Structure 1
Amino acid sequence: MPTIVHEFDWPDRVVVGTIGPPGSRSFYLQVRSGSRIVSIALEKEQSALLAEKIDEILDQLITLEGNPFSIPTTTPIEIVDNDPLEQPVAAEFRTGSMSLGWDPTTVQFVIEAYPVDEDDDVRDPAEKSEMLLVRISVGTARAFAKRTREIVGAGRPMCPLCGYPVDADGHTCTLPDV
């Protein structure tokens, strides 16, 4: 069976966004190029880890002598994207495994996402029937990571006593055993 590849080179927009109230949010990675939009569902933890790893790689690349890739130290203001997800959001698939790579020949990050298999926890990448493949510039990657960290952090506040999330309708604090 041939693999359906949702491929984006230099997309117009790539963002993580949510639908739903804090505590019941669904996370999506959404990519747009022209009028073509692809959204995939992913977990909050996957979003946070993706942003963390992008920033780690960018910070490592900055330390290379002479910063040969012109890595921005902060998010370029002209590419900040705080707009909501484009509607309607229809996920192509729920993400299982993801990979993040760096291509020094094009000075781009390469993000790959594969669907969760209903039979196994995660499909073997060699047997995938569908995937998302996105290549983004370093500036876009910095903006993506910043926005994603903000989206992840915008959930329910944490209880200062027990460290668990506080729901909008209340919270029963369970203090850890001391």
Structure 2
Amino acid sequence: MSRVIHVFRQPERFVAGTVGEPGDRSFYLQAAEQARTISVLLEKQQVSVLAERIGALLQEVNRRFGQELPESQDGNPDTDPLAVPLEEEFRVGTMGLGWDAETRSIVVELLAVTEEEIDESVVLDDTDEGPDALRVFLSPPQAKAFAERAELVVSAGRAPCPLCAEPLDPAGHICVRLNGYHQRSPMTD
């Protein structure tokens, strides 16, 4: 079966979002352009890393190519929920990130999890062989807005334990800093 690459050259929306309650959330990235919407499932850590790397790439592009850094989206952030029905296209395994100087865009590529080892030449390439992919071209302001929202989505989970930084459940948790003694949650005090 040949590879499917979903390309969004001028997305109206590219956002991170979740489904479920803190502690039991599923993380999604969703791209929308015209009447087409694609959603992919990934891990919380992948969302966090992608947001961080986009910020770093924007800084590097500014330094090397003089591309102006976009302003923060404080005035008009996208806080809308993910579009429904939410149908997962695939689970993300490998992520790629790049700068397209021709279109002056950040390129995000998300590859499906696969059993086979992925040759890095498959990332950001249109070869017929390889895992399915979602490729999104983002203007620097869109990339900045994505990174800001992604950081908010990741941080909206459970509060960290003040001793060990592990997430607190409403009933508390077993804190490694207390040698396994039960730590009560400040939410129930």
**TM-score scaled by length of structure 1:** 0.88
Counterpart of 2:98 in structure 1 is 101
Q: Does 2:48 align with 1:48?
A: yes
Q: 1:115·1:123 contact (CA, 8 Å) conserved in 2?
A: no
Deviation at 1:104, TM superposition (A): 1.6
- Which residue does the alignment assign to 2:169? 167
Query: In percent, how many aligned pairs have the same letter?
Result: 41
Matched residues in 2 for 1:115 and 1:60: separation? 27
Matched, 1:138 2:140: yes
Aligned length: 172
Distance 1:176 1:60, change over 3 A: farther
| Deviations, residues 4-44 of structure 1 (Å, cap 9, x unaligned) | 11110110000000000111110001000122100000111
CA 97–129 in structure 1, closer or farther in 2 if over 3 Å, else same: closer
8 Å Cα contact 2:39/2:86 also seen in 1: yes
Mapped to 2, the partners of 1:104 and 1:77 lie a distance apart of 28
What residue identity is the alignment partner of 1:131?
Answer: A
CA RMSD, aligned part only?
Answer: 1.9
1:82 paired with 2:92, answer no
TM-score by length of 2: 0.83
Q: Which residue of the other structure, out of 89, 103, 125, is the alignment partner of 1:92?
A: 89
* Conservation of the 8 A alpha-carbon contact between 1:162 and 1:173: yes
1:58 corresponds to: 58
How far residue 73 of structure 1 moved from its aligned partner, in angstroms, is 4.0
Question: Are 1:38 and 2:38 an aligned pair?
Answer: yes
Distance 1:130 1:163 in 2: 36
